[in-house]
Amino acid sequence: MAKYPSMVITKDGLSMIAESQGGQGLIFTKVTLGAGDLNGGSIINLTDLIDNRINANITAIDATSRPGQVTLTAVVSNSEVDAGFHAKEIGVFAKIGEGGTERLYAYTNAGNYADYMPDKTDPVNEAIFKTTFVVSNAQNIQAVIDKSIVYPTVLEMDTAIKKHNEAEDAHETVFNCYVKSVTEKNGTVTVTKGDGSSTTFNSFKLDMCYPIGSIYMSTVATSPAILFGGTWEAMPAGRVLLAQGESEWGVEYKAGSTGGEHEHQLSVGELPSHSHNVTVSTSGNHAHTFTFVKEYDAGGTEPGSASWRSNQGTKTTEQAGAHTHTVTISNTGSNSPHNNLQPYIAVFMWRRTA
């Protein structure tokens, strides 16, 4: 938070105080912020801020609470600040009479204790600040106020409401009926009104929302016993919910019954009906062809005589040799069970038991 020394009245400020004695009013026109360094210079001789950056519009003036002093309330925003800066300087400007020339009345500089004002690309809420300084015996003190930007402070609002409520003609009963606070504890809500009276009621009926036997599911591990009360037990891990009754395929599922498998190994009876066809050729019949020589005696003489004759011929054996083959088809597969799960997301599940 910035720390500014007390405002110092400049020579022009002192001159304006004297001039106001002639009957013309002292009119405060604006409050200005700057980034200049005083560097030991004299405030009283300043006629303007050292590095003028942004104007703060005056929204209120109090010239009666403290004799010889005036307090100005101003509003500033960074909506027109092109380059951020440290708001070291505060200057108050004023003039004498409506036609007077605007001059620097009072000045202060926070030096290294100033706050930073970002540029307009980083919007900040409009800041409301007050500055108090001496006006001595100046007469007819006024300020130029832009009423379109007047904001009440929290203290001003509280003061105004209190003053209204304490007035005899205020609609006090209406104010006493407004809801001041709402608190909740263990399923019970307490509503406190402006007059201090309160009403308590149950905010949650467990049996209406989760009667015994209800299932509660969540992606968070917090037990419903903590959230709602009652007695709950965790559902068996890995189980999904199935609607009870007779299904359209004719199977009846009784409430509370269990079934299904995480993984399953097919039995022979569960295999689809199928066959294996093997074709083996039975050919193999064949015959043998051979050549022979036949000798004979044309004249009846002894073999080897001139009357013997020789005759060569060819014959074929009968066909034979047809046969069969035995074929063996080998087994394959690892005989392992298969995963039987649908795609899923695991959540926390409880069942209310009491």
Q: What is the pLDDT of residues 318-333, one digit of tens each?
A: 777 777 778 888 887 7
**How far is 135 from 26, CA to CA, in rounded Å?**
9
- Using DSSP's 3-state secondary structure scheme, residue 197 falls into coil
State how far the alpha carbon of 100 is from the alpha carbons of 13, 27, 71, 143, in Å.
13, 9, 21, 13
> CA 178, CA 162: separation in Å to the nearest integer?
14
CB 312 within 8 A of CB 292: yes
Each residue's pLDDT tens digit, 32-45: 999 999 998 899 99
* pLDDT one-digit tens code per residue, 96-114: 988 999 999 999 999 999 9
Q: How confident is the model at residue 219 (pLDDT cuts 50, 70, 90)?
A: very high
Threshold 0.85, pTM exceeds? no
Out of 75-89, 187-201, 259-273, least confident range: 187-201
Return all residues near 162 (Cβ < 8 A) that are at least 6 apart.
none
Domain boundaries, the chain: 8-151, 207-271+332-354, 279-328
Q: Find the angle CA(3)-CA(4)-CA(9) to the nearest 5 degrees.
A: 170
Mapped onto helix, strand or coil, the DSSP state of residue 132 is strand
Distance in angstroms (rounded) separating the CA atoms of residues 178 and 195: 8
Tokens of 160: 């105004």
